[in-house]
Every structure is written in structure tokens, then in C-alpha cells.
Amino acid sequence: MFSYVPESINPAAPLIVVLHGCKQKATTFASDAGWLALADRTKVFLLLPEQKGLPSFLYYISYIPGFGDWFQGWYGVNNPLGCFNWFKPVDNKRDSGEALSIRQMIVAMIERYSVDRSRVYIVGLSAGGAMAVAMLASYPELFAGGATVAGVPYGCADNGSVALQCMNPGIDLLPEEWRRRFGEGQQLERRAPRISIWQGDADTTVVPLNEQQLVEQWTAIHHASATPIRTETNGPITRQLYADNSGAIEVEAVTVKGLGHAFPIQTNGPADCGQPGDYVVSTSICAATEISRFWGLNSVRN
């Protein structure tokens, strides 16, 4: 695992877990997407788990029938493209596989740096976004909040073939069924964490239907209406806010017009927000800043 500890940080500072997407590296993604800059600015710890995949020149081997799985095992990789295995039951449930491994990393960070246990957050892009949702389902007591960018609902798939269907064209289920599938991660002993859901409306890899399904899953989990209490539009950015019965905003959905399969940054904003890179593109909004704001962390709003 990788971590980032800003200079002059308070020992009881919050922790943000950042999960990269397929074909990405943990530290590069965290830097490009603006999380390192945000950590320096707001003085938060970062945990950067990294999936072990094949080198890019060996990707093709994973598709050879009868040989790919053997080679991956021999090479010691968890996923040939370096994706978190959000769709595998052995990896996306409490106390099992990758979910357990990420939890152990979080606990290690908490113990090593005396992190504020009440302010642990998780965010991810694409496969990392889906894995972030899986972590929220598996360990809701561990997180104060989460965010998913180009992600899918928890329980959408239990194998690679269905995972591709989840991504495109998407799977449309009733909110009650999504809530039931979320509950299979583990029995909720406390309220679920609040979540920020981000989607590009031009994404053809993880289609916009998934944003709608995530909203339906998470509003059902929070016993909230799937009708937003407020909609804010600022140029290509549309933000919808959803409240529970007490009026507390527990879910937000942010749609970025024209954004494809990528994490949105703002290179000309008031605060440093990373730089364009693989699956990281410049837009009119800094997702890292806005997500941290939704969580209630101190940051400059763009």
C-alpha cells in the first residue's frame, strides 16, 4: 500500500482512502486527480491501495483461453488490468479478499498515525468507484462518507460477464432490490455513510444509467425519497441533493455534461486540483474539492 502524510499534519486528522481505476497506478492517480494537493491544503491523511496487475505489454495474455488464468496466478496478479475486483463475491464482502485487505490497511493507518476514527472516507474511480461502494456496504461502521465516480451499485454483478453488463448497458432494478443487495454485504448495525455520486453524461464505458441506479440504491438505504429536495445547475454541472426523513442530506448526485469515462479536475480554479492524465480530464469543476466539501471537510469550494 501507499500513503501520503502532509507536513505539519495534526495526528487526529481525517483519512481519505483513494482507489484508482483499471490500468492506473495509485500514486499517479492520486496526484493527477488532485487528492495530493487537497491533502496538503486541508491536512488530511491519504491511503492509496494499489491493485497488482500485469504490465501493459502482457495484457493480451489474460485473454488466451486456458492460459490466461494460469499465467496470472504464476505472475502473482489479482487482476490482469489492475482493476479492483469489485464484482467477485470473494473480494467484495466483509472480512473476505480485497475488502478485508483494504480494511486492514485502513486500520494500520489509524493505529500508526492516530487518525480520527470518526472521519474516515473512501473514494474511487470506475472499478475503484465500484470497490469504494463495496467497502461502504461491507464496513459501514468504518466510514463517515464515501464517493464514487463512474461507479456501479453494490451487488450489480457476481462475475466478470455480468460486470460488463452492469457497466454498459447497465442493469435497472427496483430500489428495494438494490437495498436488499446492499444488505448482503453485511447486516447494518448503524446508519449507512453518506455518499457523493459522480457521472459523466458522455461516458460509454460506465453508462449514466448507473448514476440513477446508485441514487435509487442509496436513497433506499437511507429511507430517503428518490426525488431530490434541491437541484443546482452551474453550466455543465448539475447537482441533485437527497435528504432522509430528518431532512439531513445523505446522498448527492453530480452529473458533468460532456464528461466521458474520467475523473473531473479543474486546472484553472482557485485551488490546485491536479493535472490531466490517464482517465483524468480538465473540466469546470474540481471533484476532489467538491467531494471533500460534501463530506464536511475544510476546503476551498470551486
pLDDT at 73: 66
Convert the pLDDT of each residue in 39-98 to its tens digit. 999 999 999 999 987 777 666 666 666 656 666 665 667 888 999 999 999 999 999 999
Question: What's this model's pTM, rounded to 2 decimal places?
Answer: 0.93
Cell of 268: 484553472
Round the average pLDDT of the chain to a whole number and report it: 92
Three-state SS for the chain is CEEECCCCCCCCCCEEEEECCCCCCHHHHHHHCCHHHHHHHHCCEEEECCCCCCCHHHHHHHHCCCCHHHHHHHHCCCCCCCCCCCCCCCCCCCCCHHHHHHHHHHHHHHHHHCCCCCCEEEEEECHHHHHHHHHHHHCHHHCCEEEEECCCCCCCCCCHHHHHHHHCCCCCCCHHHHHHHHHCCCCCCCCCCEEEEEEECCCCCCCCHHHHHHHHHHHHHCCCCCCCCEEEEECCEEEEEEECCCCCEEEEEEEECCCCCCEEECCCCCCCCCCCECCEEECCCCHHHHHHHHHCCCCCCC
Write the CB contacts of 194 (distance below 8 Å, at least 6 apart in sequence): 144, 145, 146, 222, 249, 250, 251, 294, 295
Mean pLDDT of 226-235: 97
pLDDT at 296: 96
Percent of the chain with pLDDT over 90: 82
Q: In this structure, which topology does domain 2-53+82-295 adopt according to CATH?
A: Rossmann fold (3.40.50)
Is 256 in contact with 199 (CB distance < 8 Å)?
Answer: yes
Q: How confident is the model at residue 282 (pLDDT cuts 50, 70, 90)?
A: very high
pLDDT at 277: 98
Distance CA 169, CA 152 (A): 12
Convert the pLDDT of each residue in 149-191 to its tens digit. 999 999 999 999 999 999 999 999 999 999 999 986 555 556 7
Convert the pLDDT of each residue in 249-280 to its tens digit. 999 999 999 999 999 999 998 888 999 999 99
Interhelix angle 127-138/97-113, nearest 10 degrees:
80
Of the candidates 184, 196, 211, 189, the one whose C-alpha atom is nearest the C-alpha of residue 285 is 196
Convert the pLDDT of each residue in 120-138 to its tens digit. 999 999 999 999 999 999 9
Lowest average pLDDT, out of 56-60, 221-225, 236-240, goes to: 56-60
Using alpha carbons, list the distances in angstroms from residue 17 to 27, 93, 121, 240: 12, 18, 6, 24
Write the CB contacts of 97 (distance below 8 Å, at least 6 apart in sequence): 85, 88, 90, 91
Domain coordinates of the chain in residue numbers? 2-53+82-295
Strand order in the sheet with 15-19: 2-4, 45-48, 15-19, 120-125, 145-149, 194-200, 249-256, 237-243, 230-234
Taking every pair of Cα atoms in the chain, the longest distance, rounded to a whole number of angstroms, is: 55
Active site residues: 126
In the block, cell 470518526 appears at 118
